[in-house]
Amino acid sequence: MPYPHAAAGGAVRPHRPLLESRTVTALLDVQDLVKDYRDAAGAPLRAVDGVSFTLAPGEVLGIVGESGCGKSTLGRMLMRLVEPTSGRILVDGSDLTKLGGRALKRERRQLQMVFQDPYGSLNPRHKVGTIIGEPLVIHGIPNRRERVAELLDLVGLPREAVDRYPHEFSGGQRQRIAIARALALEPKVIIADEPVSALDVSIQSQIINLITDLRARLGLSMIFISHDLSVIRHVSDRIGVMYLGRMVEIAPTAALFAAPRHPYTGALLSAIPRPPSRDGTPQRTRRIFLKGELPDPTNPPPGCVFHTRCPVAVERCREIVPRLDPIGADGQRAACLRADEMPGILDAPTRPETAVAT
Ligand SMILES: Nc1ncnc2c1ncn2[C@@H]1O[C@H](COP(=O)(O)OP(=O)(O)OP(=O)(O)O)[C@@H](O)[C@H]1O
């Protein structure tokens, strides 16, 4: 008897948990996180809508989505720089949303953030040694000078940097300073919000290499937020895709790239240029262009929030809110009523609703 309640004679439906299945080893366990704001005219909007995920020790989870989908709000809520409207943020089992005062200061230390703007995030009046050592002072940690020197070594900056000011450094070097500061307290999790978006492309790869290297050496766990799927791919073990405040797909990186189960993920992937094949001929990419604009967040569409732009939406997508349900192997989840059909749909020859780019 596959399902015990079949014996009761009711309709049989396999149990599909609402939240991502959790392991006891999760370092970070985010449950049903919601953030409501009001726009400039006072209309309510939900910037983050019931987002749940876990982060395992040593794992890098990428969060991707276009501007306004709620990535930064999510990252800032994890640090409690933005107060969640509801939901839970468990760090090693302790709920950050319930803490205040000293207990919050102690637990928040486990999470550190690297911001997008390496120009604005460093105090221009402080020397680099003071900036990197500040968290150590706040938390009363001794041997500050040695620790700052170690941190500079770690991020590949000369020790003489301690006596210099941020404006004496390039954008990439400033981001190294920001990363050193974030590492000062040996946090359990780093939250990096678009850490390379403000940098030149050549410098971006240096910082990505640094992050990859630090990860291997220190076993860092990280939430890596970016609008750029090709950047996220380089650093992430798993990727969560957000659209209009919701997590619409989450999957191991290889699975997401091999077989996306949400049409929005398919569209994002189709926009990444593919390198030419070995004989030099350009590879044809079936580009999925989305219809229309991102909906007004103060007036989101009913049913699936993506249906107004979805190339494969059907009638029921207007009514039913799809859950982030398991699909396929490896913990892949997608919030799409047609997730089962997606490999066939996305690989099919041109449909009238989509266009093909070469
Ligand atoms: N302080 C705020 N007050 C009101 N609305 C806000 C506030 N911060 C963000 N929002 C709104 O919440 C939604 C999500 O914004 P958020 O900045 O988190 O998205 P994002 O994906 O990080 O975009 P971007 O990459 O452009 O920063 C947007 O509609 C935004 O206008």
Q: Which of 34, 35, 37 to mutate to test the pocket of ligand 1 (most atoms within 8 A of CB)?
A: 37
Cα distance between residue 150 and residue 277, in whole Å? 44
* Number of the ligand 1 atom closest to the C-alpha atom of 69: 21
Q: What is the pLDDT of residue 202?
A: 87
Cα distance between residue 64 and residue 52, in whole Å? 15
Higher pLDDT, 84 or 283: 84
Higher pLDDT, 4 or 310: 310
Answer yes or no: is the C-beta of 241 below 6 A from any ligand 1 atom.
no
Which residue has the CA at smallest separation from atom 26 of ligand 1? 67
How far is ligand 1, taken at its centre, from the CA of residue 278, in Å? 42
Alpha-helical (H) ranges within the chain are 71-78, 101-108, 128-138, 144-154, 171-183, 201-218, 229-235, 253-258, 263-270, 342-347
Q: Which of 48, 71, 244, 294 to mutate to test the pocket of ligand 1 (most atoms within 8 A of CB)?
A: 71
Express as a percent the part of the chain with pLDDT over 90: 68
Which residue has the CA at smallest separation from atom 11 of ligand 1? 47
Across 148-169, average pLDDT: 95
Answer yes or no: is the C-beta of 228 below 6 A from any ligand 1 atom.
no
* Number of the ligand 1 atom closest to the C-alpha atom of 82: 1
Q: What is the pLDDT of residue 172?
A: 93
Answer yes or no: is the C-beta of 75 below 6 A from any ligand 1 atom.
no
Give strand ranges (E) for the chain: 28-38, 44-55, 60-64, 86-91, 94-95, 111-114, 189-193, 221-226, 238-243, 246-252, 325-326, 333-334
Cα distance between residue 155 and residue 220, in whole Å? 14
pLDDT at 180 > cutoff 60: yes
In this predicted model, what pLDDT tens digit does every residue of 103-120 receive, in sequence order? 888 888 899 999 988 778
pLDDT at 125 > cutoff 60: yes
How far is ligand 1, taken at its centre, from the CA of residue 22, in Å? 28
Q: What is the pLDDT of residue 177?
A: 96
Q: What is the pLDDT of residue 283?
A: 56
Cα distance between residue 12 and residue 6, in whole Å? 6
Which residue has the CA at smallest separation from atom 16 of ligand 1? 70
In this predicted model, what pLDDT tens digit does every residue of 43-89 receive, in sequence order? 999 999 999 999 999 999 999 999 999 999 999 999 999 999 999 99
The CATH class given to the 28-110+187-236 domain equals alpha beta
pLDDT at 297 > cutoff 50: yes
Answer yes or no: is the C-beta of 295 below 6 A from any ligand 1 atom.
no
Answer yes or no: is the C-beta of 71 below 6 A from any ligand 1 atom.
yes
Answer yes or no: is the C-beta of 68 below 6 A from any ligand 1 atom.
yes
How far is ligand 1, taken at its centre, from the CA of residue 245, in Å? 9
In this predicted model, what pLDDT tens digit does every residue of 225-265 receive, in sequence order? 999 998 999 999 999 999 999 999 999 999 999 999 999 99
pLDDT at 166 > cutoff 90: yes
Q: Which of 49, 72, 247, 293 to mutate to test the pocket of ligand 1 (most atoms within 8 A of CB)?
A: 72
Higher pLDDT, 8 or 330: 330
Q: What is the pTM of this model?
A: 0.88
Query: Do the Cβ atoms of 121 and 149 come closer than 8 Å?
Result: no
ipTM for this prediction? 0.98
pLDDT at 12 > cutoff 90: no
Predicted confidence band of residue 349 (pLDDT cuts 50, 70, 90):
low
Predicted confidence band of residue 281 (pLDDT cuts 50, 70, 90):
low
- Within the chain, all domains assigned CATH 3.40.50.300 are found at 28-110+187-236
Express as a percent the part of the chain with pLDDT over 70: 86
Sign (positive/negative) of CA torsion 78, 80, 84, 87? positive
Which residue has the CA at smallest separation from atom 28 of ligand 1? 68
Query: Do the Cβ atoms of 25 and 56 come closer than 8 Å?
Result: yes
Answer yes or no: is the C-beta of 197 below 6 A from any ligand 1 atom.
no
Give the CA radius of gyration of the chain. 22
